[in-house]
Amino acid sequence: MIMASVLIATDAFILFCYFVWPLGIQLWIIAATSVIFGGTILFCWLVKLRVRIENSTIVVGFIKRHVIPFGDVIDHKVGDISIIRNFSGWGIKKVSFKNFICVGYDAAVSMKLMGRRVVTISLSDPEGFASLLPSPRAD
């Protein structure tokens, strides 16, 4: 909404300058700024982080869709991002890390997965999300 209002304000200002002040502004500038702003708005809309649980899988959508079956979750932790991102206490090395971190959310869920992978997702309600995950395995 903010980006769309900035686009409208910019286009209105360009039209105002074209018709009121003889500054030599060309009308093609309004089309160019509209295309650039529109592309930016579309890009920002598409790259939203979407996390949902469906059919015993965790689906994370961020540019590309990532599907994590519940069977792959070995363990999970909930806490402050700065604490759980270092994965202390798990004692794992040579691991593939994938982080889905949203600005403004300081709490996250970090999941240890089969295949030496760790996925961290920041959420508004990480405890609620963690309660939907399977219990940690005793392997």
pLDDT in tens, 87-130: 555 556 677 788 888 878 888 898 888 888 888 898 889 899 88
Q: What is the pTM of this model?
A: 0.66
On whether both 59 and 102 belong to a single domain, the answer is yes
Give 69's pLDDT tier (boundaries 50, 70, 90).
very high
The burial of 129, by beta-carbon neighbours within 10 Å (0-12 exposed, 13-18 middle, 19 or more buried), is given as buried
88 touches 79 (CB < 8 A): no
Q: Which helix (H) or strand (E) holds 113?
A: strand 107-113
Looking at residue 57, what is its pLDDT? 92
Q: Among positive and negative, which fits the CA dihedral 67, 73, 79, 84?
A: negative
Give 63's pLDDT tier (boundaries 50, 70, 90).
confident
Question: Could you give the CA distance from residue 15 to residue 12 in angstroms, rounded to a whole number?
Answer: 5
For residue 139, being part of any structural domain is answered with: no
On whether both 42 and 54 belong to a single domain, the answer is no
Rounded average pLDDT over 74-80: 87
pLDDT over 70 for what percent of the chain?
88
Query: How many domains are there within the chain?
Result: 2
pLDDT over 90 for what percent of the chain?
6
For residue 136, being part of any structural domain is answered with: no
